[in-house]
Structure 1
Amino acid sequence: MDLLVNGTAHRVAVESRSLLSDVLRHRLGLTGTHVSCEQGGCGACLILLDGEPVTSCTTLAITLDGSAVTTIEGLAESSRHDALRHAFRSRGALQCGFCTPGMFLACAALLDGERPRDRREIRERLTGQQCRCTGYAAVIDAVSDVLADGGAP
């Protein structure tokens, strides 16, 4: 199967039962994609699939031939989301760091898509991202800061 991961083409042989999270972590060495609940409920394994947020722990890799995947490592290589990185740091929107890759990708997708109108909508659109440390207010503050500063992610 052929995948474009973070802008790099990969040809990977996968079993029909292989999950995308396993391919990313164990075959391609991209360990920034975390796995927690293994049911798609926590958001730790979130990646962008053709630009859309998807839980990689519930996605069969075999179904993705020819797709483009962006992981947290892919965003780290680009300056496109510097404002969001700065807002996460300044607002303390990360603590233990386990949920941070998925949370950051969810926020980046939110800012790259149709912009939320208010804090309530930010909160609603981050549903599915679990964080036991921050209480979400700092994450919502970070996204709100980026939007208030002109919205460049």
Structure 2
Amino acid sequence: MRRLNADQRHKIGMTLNGRPVEGYAVPRLLLSDFLRHELAATGTHVGCEHGVCGACTVRIDGMMARSCLTLAVQVDGAVIDTVEGLAPDAERLSVLQSAFRKHHALQCGFCTAGILMSLDTLLRDTPDADEHQIRDVLSGHLCRCTGYHTILNAAIEAAATLKKDIQDA
């Protein structure tokens, strides 16, 4: 295993939202900061910097992860998905994003990116997720503006839509 110099910047290459990107990071730089400041992927928010609030949630190689607990050098060669990559294209929102919009499932929006990433991962892996599974995922996120009611309703509607889409296919 090669030893990293703490002050030397290292080249980090990854696939970010489906496209190859590169940047430079010192070994102690958090993935959240690397995404925001080096790659300009500012949809990932930094809240508590302790992995508790969930605002910084991204997917690393398909798995949910807190980007404030991950070092940028750890993801060299990985596939990273952030909230910027959820919409199928620039003209259309995802099913989950559309449900959030319809149900007004955000207020200030600070926590929304992390919640969307976690719920998108749940619905990708379990398109017929029930209310209990959705609540379980939401329990890993802190939102100070809402009572989670509209977020839950949006997620339940998105799950129902995805389930119907699968049945109709």
Query: Do the two structures share a fold, i.e. TM-score over 0.5?
Result: yes
Q: Which amino acid aligns with 1:106?
A: S
Q: Are residues 80 and 116 of structure 1, via their aligned partners in 2, closer, same or farther at CA, if it must alter by over 3 Å?
A: farther
Which residue of the partner structure matches residue 38 of structure 1?
Answer: 49
Which residue of the partner structure matches residue 153 of structure 2?
Answer: 141
TM-score with structure 1 length normalisation?
A: 0.90
Cα distance in structure 2, aligned partners of 1:115 and 1:34: 26
Q: Which residue among 130, 144, 159 is the counterpart of 1:132?
A: 144
Q: Which residue among 8, 12, 18 is the counterpart of 2:29?
A: 18
Query: What is the Cα deviation at residue 42 of structure 1?
Result: 0.4
Q: Which residue among 88, 91, 95 is the counterpart of 2:100?
A: 88
Q: Is the 8 A contact 1:6 1:70 kept in 2?
A: yes
Cα distance in structure 1, aligned partners of 2:27 and 2:63: 23
TM-score with structure 2 length normalisation?
A: 0.82
Query: What is the Cα deviation at residue 11 of structure 1?
Result: 2.3
For structure 2, the residue ranges without an aligned partner over 5 or more in a row are: 1-11
Q: Which amino acid aligns with 1:97?
A: G
Q: More displaced, 85-94 or 16-25?
A: 85-94
Q: Which has the larger radius of gyration?
A: 2
Cα-to-partner distance string for 1:73-113 (whole Å, 9 max, x where unaligned):
11235378622122101112111111111111111111001
Q: Count residues in correspondence.
A: 153
- Is 1:109 paired with 2:121? yes
Matched residues, percent identical?
A: 43
Residue 149 of structure 1: SS of its match in structure 2?
A: helix
